[in-house]
Amino acid sequence: MAFGHGKVILLGEHSVVHGRPALALAVERGAEVTATAVTGATARAVTTLHIEPWNVDVDTGDEPNLGREPLQQALKVARAFYEDDAREFALQATMRVPSGAGMGSSAALGVAVLRALDDARGITRPEQEIYERSLDWERVFHGNPSGVDNAMATYGGMALFTKGSPLTRVVPRHKVSLVVAYSGSSSSTKLMVDSVARQLAKEPVRMNKAFDAIAAIVRNGQLALETGDFAGLGQLLTLNHKLLSGMMLSTDVLEEMIAAALAAGALGAKVTGAGGGGCMVALVDSPEARAAVSAALQQLGKTVYDVESGA
């Protein structure tokens, strides 16, 4: 079974698209994919993909998969890497992160699909090549992705990511405990990235100052992780959120969730991912705080995920 990690961005959304760094960590939730060769009388000259629990099916045939065109196009991108190999496969995927929620679902799926197609052909490929190929998959959905989602989906762990540069591994002094909660509404990364790009074009001075401020938060966040200053890290999360809110990336629901998490004892909280919906993330420093924050968010009717990254 091939796997692609989901991810949580701790600090640095959107500014990372414009050349600043971001702090991200992979989670042990993501996409699992198996590939079965299609042979004999049942063989079709297409590769197929079935996704649970979404009950979604797409294929690489010429007929449009109505309502699934971006996913169909992404699957065709993946299949095209093997144009000299006529074999087709039936892919079965299980998603363990929500779609459009800021947890890197499309990147996790793309990495898992590519690894499954390699595994089925007996190919062992360097991770850097998986990363590069999965970026082509991500462009179908997001237009101008930073690459952070598929980097974390490929490599795992925790890292400082800057577009166009190698990952810098970050090793926290202590285990990082997070509560991630889904707002209940998905969002389009492409639309949110385009919205920020329009703001940048209209107000370049304001937006670049915000991006630079977020970059400083990221650098201080890396230091806080490495020295174990989680109180300081929590303050940086909340400050990062205020800057993202100024870019119109939060919602009333996310604001309510963040306020509830902070009131329940979170050290800091923010939107994570593209914004406009999706998930928020809260930093906690004890099992008791984790339980209290999780309970507060569940009382709002939200789905909660516990995330940890080892020291």
- Both tokens assigned to 124: 């062992």
- Model pLDDT, residue 29: 87
Asked if the structure places residue 10 within a domain, the reply is yes
Number of domains in the chain: 2
> Would strands 89-95 and 48-52 be described as parallel, antiparallel, or unpaired?
parallel
157 and 200 assigned to the same domain: no
Rounded average pLDDT over 111-128: 97
Confidence of residue 310 (pLDDT cuts 50, 70, 90): low
135 and 226 assigned to the same domain: no
> Would strands 56-59 and 89-95 be described as parallel, antiparallel, or unpaired?
unpaired
202 and 239 assigned to the same domain: yes
Asked if the structure places residue 166 within a domain, the reply is no
CATH number of the domain enclosing 216? 3.30.70.890
Asked if the structure places residue 195 within a domain, the reply is yes
Last residue of a domain, one of 161, 195, 218: 161
Q: Is the pLDDT of residue 163 over 50?
A: yes
- Both tokens assigned to 44: 């079709």
CA distance 184 to 182: 5
* Lowest mean pLDDT, pick from 43-47, 81-85, 260-264: 43-47
- Model pLDDT, residue 307: 83
20 and 115 assigned to the same domain: yes
99 and 14 assigned to the same domain: yes
155 and 191 assigned to the same domain: no
CA distance 253 to 24: 23
120 and 201 assigned to the same domain: no
C-alpha distances (whole Å) from 10 to each of 94, 106, 142, 197, 241 are 25, 19, 20, 21, 10
Residue among 196, 282, 197 at smallest CA distance from 237: 282
- Model pLDDT, residue 177: 93
Q: Is the pLDDT of residue 215 over 80?
A: yes
Rounded average pLDDT over 30-58: 88
108 and 228 assigned to the same domain: no
Q: Is the pLDDT of residue 244 over 90?
A: yes
Asked if the structure places residue 61 within a domain, the reply is yes
210 and 305 assigned to the same domain: yes
250 and 134 assigned to the same domain: no
Confidence of residue 98 (pLDDT cuts 50, 70, 90): confident
Asked if the structure places residue 64 within a domain, the reply is yes
Confidence of residue 102 (pLDDT cuts 50, 70, 90): confident
279-284 sheet: strands from edge to edge = 268-272, 279-284, 176-182, 303-309
149 and 196 assigned to the same domain: no
Asked if the structure places residue 228 within a domain, the reply is yes
CA distance 98 to 278: 9
Q: Is the pLDDT of residue 294 over 70?
A: yes
CA distance 227 to 238: 19
CATH number of the domain enclosing 62? 3.30.230.10
Domain extent at residue 75? 2-161
Q: Is the pLDDT of residue 167 over 90?
A: no
Last residue of a domain, one of 161, 195, 213: 161
Q: How many CB atoms lie within 10 A of CB 167?
A: 19
CB 42 within 8 A of CB 139: no
226 and 109 assigned to the same domain: no
- Model pLDDT, residue 182: 93
Last residue of a domain, one of 135, 161, 187: 161
Asked if the structure places residue 93 within a domain, the reply is yes
Higher pLDDT, 270 or 306: 270
Q: Is the pLDDT of residue 311 over 50?
A: no
CB 145 within 8 A of CB 132: no
Instruction: Provide the whole-model pTM.
Output: 0.85
Q: What is the pLDDT of residues 171-210, one digit of tens each?
A: 999 999 999 999 999 888 889 999 999 999 999 999 999 9
Confidence of residue 43 (pLDDT cuts 50, 70, 90): low
